Amino acid sequence: MEDYLKEALEIVKAQASVRTMTEEEITSMVQSLSKGIRNIAEDNAEVATNVEPPVDPKKAIREKSVICLECGKSFKVLTKKHLASHGLTPEEYRAKWGYKKGTSLVAKALARERRKKMKDMKLWEKRRTHSS
């Protein structure tokens, strides 16, 4: 087994010990890390551009998480602050990875939960009663 792969496995093993990861996340993280480690070892500066995303952009927004296509980390919400750490605004991130303008960078379950809360609050009805 190549040293790059061993190093990547160690990193992913440490990551998996502190948070729950799906098999797909583990596999994609091992692949992207071993590639990245190899590039660094070969003094290939192109690793910083991260041309290949850790997962398919169509599969990055999941039921309980959103995978950042820049770094491969998993979140419930991709915040402006996190995207800024990659030098991107949410709009630039969406454009770079082929998402439509209004695409929510939030885990599907959380988005559904928020939508339901807003419907339950019925703010539009409260506004009407206060304004009349």
pLDDT single digits (tens) 76-131: 999 999 999 999 999 999 999 999 998 999 999 999 999 999 999 987 787 666 65
Tally Cβ neighbours within 10 Å of residue 76. Answer: 13
- Name residues whose C-beta falls within 8 Å of residue 2's C-beta, 6 or more positions apart in sequence: 34, 38
Q: What is the pLDDT of residue 46?
A: 47
Averaged pLDDT score across all residues of the chain: 84
